[in-house]
Amino acid sequence: MKTTVIRVYLTLGLVSLLTGCGESDRREEPSPPPTTEDLKEQVGDAGRTASRYLQQKQQEAVDSAGEKVDQWRGNVDDMKQQLEDKTASATAKSKEDIEQLQSDLQDRMKALESKWKTVQAEGAEAWGEMQAGFAAAAEELKQAYDRAADELKKESQ
């Protein structure tokens, strides 16, 4: 019985070996070189894929900017309330300074929102052109916010 099983396995192994060797002698026909039309199609596909990727990244940047505007809106509202609370106990000169800070914050927030509305209206395609203006408006708002925060720190000391 053992010898029969061994013979079966040896026979199967030999058949597998011979079959595998027979296939290695076969040569595949080389594929024809790509045509101009094939290349145009491949380049067109790559261009469309790159364009879709760029639009997706631009849309992500626009969405991120919208989130930042929302965050700034909340921060500015909180800061204006803190400044308003400080006005009640401030001297006349400090009241003027605080009112100026509130006005500056409000103006900067309006400028940022205006840039944001333009970006929204134009869509992702406009993001490249609007990015510098939006970034500048956001930076000016941040500076106004920092000045207001510094004033609150001075007043509380």
pLDDT tens-place string over residues 95-143? 788 888 888 888 888 888 888 787 777 766 666 667 778 888 888 888 8
Residue (of 85, 64, 87) closest to 134 by Cα position: 64
Q: Quickly tell me which residue has 């192994």 as its tokens.
A: 13
pTM of the model: 0.56
Look up residue 109 and give its two tokens.
């927030």
Residue 25 has pLDDT above 60, yes or no: no
Classify 107 in phi/psi space as left (phi over 0), alpha (psi -120 to 50) or beta. Answer: alpha
Closest to 79 (Cα-Cα) out of 135, 156, 151, 157: 151
Q: What is the mean pLDDT of residues 10-23?
A: 55
Task: Provide the token pair at 69.
Answer: 């505007």
Sequence ranges of the domains in the chain: 65-157
Confidence of residue 19 (pLDDT cuts 50, 70, 90): low
Tens of pLDDT along 31-84?
Answer: 888 787 877 777 777 778 877 887 787 778 778 888 888 888 888 888 888 888
Check residue 37 and give its pLDDT: 80
